[in-house]
Amino acid sequence: MAEPRILPDAALHLDLGTTEEYYGIPYTVVPASQPLVPITYGTGGDDYSEESDPGPMPIPLDAAIEGGSSADPDPASGDRHVLVLQQESCMLYELYNTERLAGGFRVSSSAIWNLTVNHTRPAGWTSADAAGLPILPGLLRYDEAAAGAITHALRFTTPAVRRAYVAPASHCGSYSDASRPPYGLRVRLKAGFDLSPYSGPARTVLTALQRYGLILADQGSPWYVTGTSNPGWAEVLSQLRDRPVRGRDFEVIRLGSITTC
């Protein structure tokens, strides 16, 4: 089978920023005692409650929403993800298309992940991420890059995803063209890609892409790798601008069984 087409000339792009005012997906860590709040569905008329884990959930009313900032914490558009990790229980709560209400949140979909076990969403279900995957485990975080080791795959996006998925994804894309990639596709930076021009956290990121690779999690801009914002990314972004990594520098890892929709 031919490898799926993923825009070989497009450059790898770290979809994050150097301050909260820019890009990236924030996350919030809460204690085991965090109070529960109600979750309702139907933001903008989009309702995936039948494929969602219901509330209430231990999410602070001031939790950071993707696309927000200190000056404007409640964005009016975008994916508006909310990610909350609860200490002690190791439970992860993720919301999509979030609106902050007086006493809770209205969303289009929600998912709860027990991080102490290996499990997936039911077949056909989405999550807060289109592929049905958890978001937080695939985020690019500066603290890991600065420490010198990233030991997991990173999530990425591409504009057109096939109506199919590969485990651990559980949800289909929008396109009938079989040459498009399915959700859950894994790609890896080729072993022969020369890392010597890169240094520091930039080299750590690319080393992780050679070993653990990327997993296709959502439709979006080509080769966008999502992460959290941090001032330390400035040097990494500069190195990748000077020496771009492109789609052709990656190879597809054997897909395994593909579920079509």
pLDDT along the chain (261 residues), means of 10: 71 90 89 98 96 98 94 93 97 98 97 95 96 97 97 96 96 93 96 98 98 97 95 96 97 91 92
Please report the pLDDT score of residue 45 as a whole number.
94
Name the pTM for this structure. Answer: 0.94
Please report the pLDDT score of residue 20 as a whole number.
74
Q: Which of 15, 45, 2, 11 is nearest to 217 (CA)?
A: 15
Q: Is 162 helix (H, G, I), strand (E, B) or coil?
A: strand
Tokens linked to 85: 């990790």
Cβ atoms of residues 252 and 3 within 8 Å: yes
CB proximity list for 148: less than 8 A, separation 6 or greater: 204
Q: Which of 25, 62, 7 is nearest to 225 (CA)?
A: 25
